Each structure stands twice: as structure tokens, then as C-alpha cells.
Amino acid sequence: MGLFCVTMLCVIPLCVAVCPNSWLRYEQSCYHVGHTSFNFLDSQRHCEHYGASLVNLETRDEIAFLRGYLMLLSDQKHWIGLSDEETEGIWKWYPSEKRANVTDWQPNDNEPNGGIAANCAAIWAGYNYHWVDDSCSERYPPVCELVDEQAVIVG
């Protein structure tokens, strides 16, 4: 095996997907910080255009990685794939519907505090890159995540 991997770097028996241009590798995923602003759903569609999804932050390490990266970029505000649109107060990753088990809400302002008017989550420089809930119709650039198993393996 391995020899037929075209878009993969292969260290037999392990194939590591190469991230697309301008995407950043961390652990088993590639990340893309968007520059164009969209509402939450159009942000997800924008990520899907790359075969990716809005970023899902499942671990403390992944949260810290992305927070540090956005700090470096000094970017203002980005959608992440977290929503409580379906049930108020129950925050789930989009589109997997998995409940968030670790979160990074801004601690000093009682986030998430927007109730039914704010059902989507963003990372915001104004909160030192912690999370804020916001109206899903607001427009911010997305952070997209391409998980390795989502990558197209050309065989």
C-alpha cells in the first residue's frame, strides 16, 4: 500500500494528508481562517465548498491551538461551528450535532448570555479570543476545519 497515494504523504503504514494551500495543519485536521464575512449558515456552506466544515473544537488543546493562531493573526471575529439553535442552552457542534463537552466561553461576562436572540458562537478578539454567542444572521468570516478522514484520497 502507500504507493497509490497521490495527495498523501506516506510513511508506511501511515498516510498523512497534506493540507491544501494556505491551510494549517494541527493534529488530525487542516484549518482555514476565512477573510470573507458570511452569516452562520453561509459560513458553513463556504467551508463545505472546500469539502470541510465550520471548525469543531473538541479538546482543550484544539481550543488553545486555534486561539493562539487567531491571536497571531490579530483577526477580529470568526464563526465556529457551535449552535444552540435547536434547543436553547444546549450547544452542539454543527453539523454533527455532538454536544460540546469542553467550551471556552468568555468567563467574565456570563457568556453565553444572548438567549434566544443569539444561537451561534464566535471567537472574538474583544473577549481575548474566548467565545461569544451572537445572532446567527450576523456576518463574520468562518474558521473551517478539514478532518483527515474527510479528505479525498485519490486512489
Q: Residue 144 Cβ, how far from Ca ion at the closest point, in Å?
A: 11
The residue (of 2 and 115) whose beta carbon lies closer to Ca ion is 115
Interface with Ca ion (CB under 5 A), residue from 119, 121, 123, 143: 119
**Main-chain phi, psi angles of 83, to 5 degrees:** -145, 145
CA atoms of 4 and 152, how far apart (whole Å):
13
List, in sequence order, every beta strand (DSSP E) within 14-114: 14-17, 24-26, 29-33, 53-54, 77-83, 92-93
Q: Which of 43, 56, 83, 106 binds Ca ion (CB under 5 A)?
A: 56
The region of 20-28, 45-53, 69-77, 79-87 touching Ca ion under the rule CB under 5 A is 79-87
Contact (Cβ atoms closer than 8 angstroms) between residue 71 and residue 129: yes
> Which one among 31, 40, 84, 123 touches Ca ion, defined by CB under 5 A?
84
Contact call for residue 104 and Ca ion (CB under 5 A): no
Enumerate the β-bridge partners of residue 111. Answer: none
Between 10 and 24, CB nearer to Ca ion: 24
CB closer to Ca ion, 38 vs 93: 93
Q: How far apart are the first and last CA of the chain?
A: 10
Shortest approach of Ca ion to residue 66 CB, angstroms?
9
State in angstroms the smallest separation of the CB of 90 from Ca ion: 9
Q: Is 41 helix (H, G, I), strand (E, B) or coil?
A: helix
- Which spans of this chain sit near Ca ion (rule: CB under 5 A)? 56, 84, 119
